[in-house]
Structure 1
Amino acid sequence: MIIFKDTKSIITKSQIMNIKNILENRFIYPFPDKISPFGKALQEIANTQWIDGELKDLLPLATREKYKHTNTGIMSARWWPTTPTLDRMIPLSRFMLWAMYNDDMYEVATPNEIHFAQERSIAVLKGKISPEQAQIPLAYQLAAIREDFLKFIPSESINRFADSLNEYFDGLEMEVLYQQNGTFPSVGNLISIRVRSLMVCAFVDTIEIQTGITLPDRIYKHPVIKRLYHLSSSIIIYFNDVQSLHKDEVSGRLYFNLLGVLQHHYQLSKEEALEETIRMHNEDLEEFLLLKSTLPDFGEWQEAVIEIIECMGMFIKGWQTTSLLETKRYNNNGFPQIEELPKIE
């Protein structure tokens, strides 16, 4: 167990190690733990072509090094481990890096700045405006993602992916409002908003590139599939909020960390909040596994649906393994501080 003094205390190095033990031993996933053989190549591309290349002018060298140590290329190899070719993996890995950069940049922005970035980002992804017209820092990355995605999936799928990212920006804007007002959401509101702002649903939409199969729109709208999307997100939320506790304390984001919210509303100790988070996690994981084992009949698409759900499980397991073994993002000084991030203009 891990015991904390109060919600504003800074976690010590030994407590961080205890958190890692909890993440490894209390969050149990019966999903395959795989890694793509393209991981090292993707990390080299991320480090040299993107972080020190296309994105070089956004951040100083020291901050770029933190993004290198985040290991987004290796993350990608674990999130999409069965993707058959490097050319399919490259836009997925670019999206992973964009997600980290974008989230860091706009979690300290104003709601108006987020809304502006939202409109321009979605317009670029849907091919409605050019990167030059967008006038946002990461527009060229989004245009490159769109161009490469179009090599493997139809524009309708990219539009669905863009709609999921639109939901992400909605969630991010709501988070920022709570943060700026210094108020805690209810537990229900936090989960509802975080399902959007964690961006997992957009990641699930990219599974088409990994499998090479585009399902009919009616299947994506099926209530069971929509619920599995939600559960994929919520399961990662619980893990992420334990994992991010130190990062959120340092950055002042405990208003939107589940443990902080549970402590505030129910006067729990951090130990009790941790146990409740694990209980909620296990309840949603149990529901995910039940739905996975009792799917309705999708006819000729049954095997493809099963494969997508298997990939959802690999996302969950891949995030755990990467977090424990391969990224320094959640360690002391492993993530960019507010003053290191580019100013939004």
Structure 2
Amino acid sequence: MREELIVPKCHYPWPTVNSPIANAFDEEEKDWYDNDYTFISEEGIKRCKPQFLSRVATYMNPTCDSIERMRPCARLMIYITLFDDYFGMTPAKELKAMAERVYEVMMGEDPEPDEIGILRQMAQARKEWETFMPRFWIDRVAINFYEFIIYGMMEEIPFKQAEKRTYPLLPHYLSFRKYSIGMWPYGDLIDPATNSPLPVFIYNHPIVRRCRELLSLIIVIQNDFASLKKELEIESESLNIIFILSHQYNLTYQEACTEAMRLHDAYGRELDDLHKSLPDFGAFQQQAYDHIHHIKLQISGCANWYYNSGTNRYEPKGFIVPQYGREGDDILIPHSIFVQK
């Protein structure tokens, strides 16, 4: 007998703002897929287009009304997401080599004509940013993308490639998932979206870095709730906070949902409290305050994208099959009820 599982919705003690250019890249996005993502199968491209990944950029940076400033951000939202999807099962040695090549391209090298097309999207985004963003910011996003792969994706490999399902302990999971969720480079997009590069001394301040870490941790839980329906049907899947809490603390999935939401809400309150008690940054005080404000808008904007953008990313057959995917990853969910395994 199937037991119904009620997955809670995420809410925040700050507003959700709607973007004035929310759907601006819907058509351009299709061209990017057709021209630069041809390494993905034709069926994979068909799955990508209804996901509206470019809208993640606009929903998460909702105060930006500039197509030019948002275009490279939309490119990044797509290429980081599909990089994770496509290379998620790649052996560590190959993934590390890819990370180094990505870093070279994001730092200024142009890809060769025969290299994978995703590098062309990265190079084009970098060139667009170079017209209005300072060098230190481009260096920052390049490093954060590299760490997304090295400290995030590579740390997931032992769990994804294990012969039988293996669970990390919760602190271990959060230590690498906060990188593999991609929110360090996503958070960098606040600067071009607001046309306000955050000075290095503010960016590196422990309170500001904690706020950026909280962005990642909150989105980890947000994303795990959103993907739970699909992941419940994948026998080998362990990298979801609901599964980890259930396994580590012997909880039902419903109890694990309650505990995950408790953590989520605690992180949200901490971010709100830190925003209200920033240190003195002198002439840059308003800029620092506005940056944390936009971190909060990214969080509520991402939830808005999950719930209201029309994406089908978390529906059956929503993901592309990874390059090194094992047989059976492409799962059809035949029912709409969340079930306890």
Q: TM-score, normalised by structure 2?
A: 0.88
Map of 1:330 onto structure 2: 314
1:303-322 pair list within 5 angstroms: 303-322=286-305
Identity %: 28
1:228 to 190, 199, 211: 211
In structure 2, relative to structure 1, the CA distance for the partners of 1:134 and 1:302 (3 Å cut) is: farther
Name the one with the larger helix percent: 1
CA distance in 2, matches of 1:251, 1:316: 27
Q: Which deviates further from its counterpart, 280-289 or 328-337?
A: 328-337
Is the contact between residue 170 and residue 244 of structure 2 (CA under 8 Å) also seen in structure 1?
Answer: yes
Matched, 1:61 2:45: no
2:147 to 159, 167, 170: 167
Is the contact between residue 87 and residue 324 of structure 2 (CA under 8 Å) also seen in structure 1?
Answer: no
Is the contact between residue 89 and residue 161 of structure 2 (CA under 8 Å) also seen in structure 1?
Answer: no
CA distance in 1, matches of 2:15, 2:35: 34
2:105 to 119, 124, 129: 124
1:1-345 pair list within 5 angstroms: 18-19=6-7, 22-23=8-9, 27-47=10-30, 49-55=31-37, 57-127=38-108, 129-132=109-112, 135-170=115-150, 171-181=152-162, 182-251=165-234, 254-326=237-309, 327-338=311-322
CA distance in 1, matches of 2:319, 2:122: 23
Q: How many residues align?
A: 321
In structure 2, relative to structure 1, the CA distance for the partners of 1:117 and 1:136 (3 Å cut) is: farther
CA distance in 1, matches of 2:278, 2:297: 18
Q: TM-score, normalised by structure 1?
A: 0.87
Letter in 2 for 1:299: G
Is the contact between residue 231 and residue 288 of structure 1 (CA under 8 Å) also seen in structure 2?
Answer: yes
Structure 1 runs not aligned, ≥5 long? 6-13
In structure 2, relative to structure 1, the CA distance for the partners of 1:253 and 1:33 (3 Å cut) is: farther
Structure 2 runs not aligned, ≥5 long? 326-341
CA distance in 2, matches of 1:279, 1:176: 28
| 1:336 positional shift | 2.1
CA distance in 2, matches of 1:95, 1:168: 13
3-state SS of 2:229 partner: helix
In structure 2, relative to structure 1, the CA distance for the partners of 1:295 and 1:70 (3 Å cut) is: same
CA distance in 1, matches of 2:257, 2:237: 14
Is the contact between residue 20 and residue 65 of structure 2 (CA under 8 Å) also seen in structure 1?
Answer: no
Q: Which deviates further from its counterpart, 131-140 or 239-248?
A: 131-140
Map of 2:332 onto structure 1: none
Letter in 2 for 1:125: M
